[in-house]
Amino acid sequence: MACAAAAVAQPLPASRLPPVGDEQPVWVGADAPPTVRLAQSTEAISRPAAIEPPPLAPPPSPAERGLFQGFELSADWLPRLDDDSLGHSKLSASASFGVPPFVLGVPLLVTPRAALHQLDGPNTIDVPSRVNDLDLSIGSFKKLGERWSARGSVNVGVYGDEDSLGASDALRVSGFGVAIYEASPEWQWVIGAAYLNRDDLAVVPAFGVIHDRGDVRFELTMPRPRILWRLPQDAAGTERAIYVAGDLGGGAWAVRRTDGTTDTLNLGSWGVGLGYETKAGPGAWFSGKRRYELGYVFGRTLEYAKSGEEISLDDSLVMRVGWNY
């Protein structure tokens, strides 16, 4: 699920960190995409990945992976700090599968995802204690010339509580498309848009520039900018990096209200975070990539689409951890 950039994925979409955690799908017989990503793929705790701007991945690795491309687990926690606040915890799992271009003419990356959200509060309005995400993302990449390329994704999923997953409001289709201009190996420009299909935010632009200096990577892209510093490898060959990132959060779920009606719960937020990511070196007993992030979430809103009820939520902290292989 896993948004411009679960997941539109894939949430919280695997961790994309070149060279840390940089093992991507291999498109057999297709040109590799340029070194570009729109944002860090750690999902905001208050959004389903399939209705968010998704990340753009760096180029594929040289090694062939075959059908199975990777697996990701993540956990997020946003505490309830007072009675009028909203606590939110999330567990998410996704797997990615590659379809080579000789099957349909273009390479595809297919990612099913499931997530469980636990909600706590606020006291001023009824909110379900649990909502769920079940979605499927299909993405592709196409080379348009020596310097131009395009990337896009379509996502279909159901989002709601246990009483509303079968409702028409639970089904949502979203997607994104961007054009990428590679001015040089160090500079890439990105322009496009993401269709979020949310009541509070339908479409967001996706644009910016990525500059990679080797030790520092600037991802000055909306809606999720990030600056990453690569650290020296340790004695075991573990690749490491730290980063600061901005984030556009939000999500939408069909829910059953206390009066028995079905409505769409919309959550929105902005955030900033400090993160640490690693990729295990050769021969390590623990393979894969890990990430840890501590952030601050502000500008939080809660809105019901049909009733028109809307409240502002208090700012809060958010803690995230993730592992992908």
In a domain, 214, yes or no: yes
In a domain, 40, yes or no: no
CA distance 101 to 86: 45
In a domain, 20, yes or no: no
230-240 residue pLDDT tens: 999 887 788 99
**C-alpha closest to that of 12 among 311, 315, 319:** 319
In this prediction, residue 43 carries a pLDDT of 34
State yes or no: pLDDT of 57 exceeds 80. Answer: no
Range of the domain at 231: 49-324
Mean pLDDT of the chain: 81
In a domain, 55, yes or no: yes
In this prediction, residue 56 carries a pLDDT of 42
DSSP state, residue 56: P
In a domain, 134, yes or no: yes
Cross-strand pairs, 203? 195
In a domain, 8, yes or no: no
Per DSSP bridges, beta strands 187-195 and 171-182 are antiparallel
In a domain, 229, yes or no: yes
Ramachandran bin of 214, using left for φ above 0, alpha for ψ from -120 to 50, beta for the remaining angles: left
In a domain, 18, yes or no: no
Can you point out the beta strands (E) in the chain? 68-78, 87-99, 108-120, 130-143, 148-160, 171-182, 187-195, 203-212, 216-222, 226-231, 239-256, 262-279, 289-304, 310-313, 316-324
pLDDT class of 283 with cuts at 50, 70, 90: low
Question: Structure pTM?
Answer: 0.78
Q: In terms of pLDDT, which residue wins out, 254 or 62?
A: 254
Tokens of 180: 């990428």
CA distance 46 to 126: 17
Tokens 């997953």 — which residue? 165
In this prediction, residue 285 carries a pLDDT of 67
Cross-strand pairs, 70? 96
Cis peptide bond N-terminal to 122, omega within 30: yes
Q: What domain count does the chain have?
A: 1
How far is the first Cα of the chain from the last one, in angstroms, to the nearest whole number? 16
CA distance 7 to 51: 7
pLDDT class of 54 with cuts at 50, 70, 90: very low
CATH number at residue 254: 2.40.160
100-142 residue pLDDT tens: 887 777 889 999 999 999 999 898 999 999 999 999 999 999 9
Check if the beta carbon of residue 20 is closer than 8 Å to that of residue 28: no
Q: In terms of pLDDT, which residue wins out, 190 or 200?
A: 190
In this prediction, residue 303 carries a pLDDT of 95
The arithmetic mean of pLDDT across residues 295-303, rounded, is 95
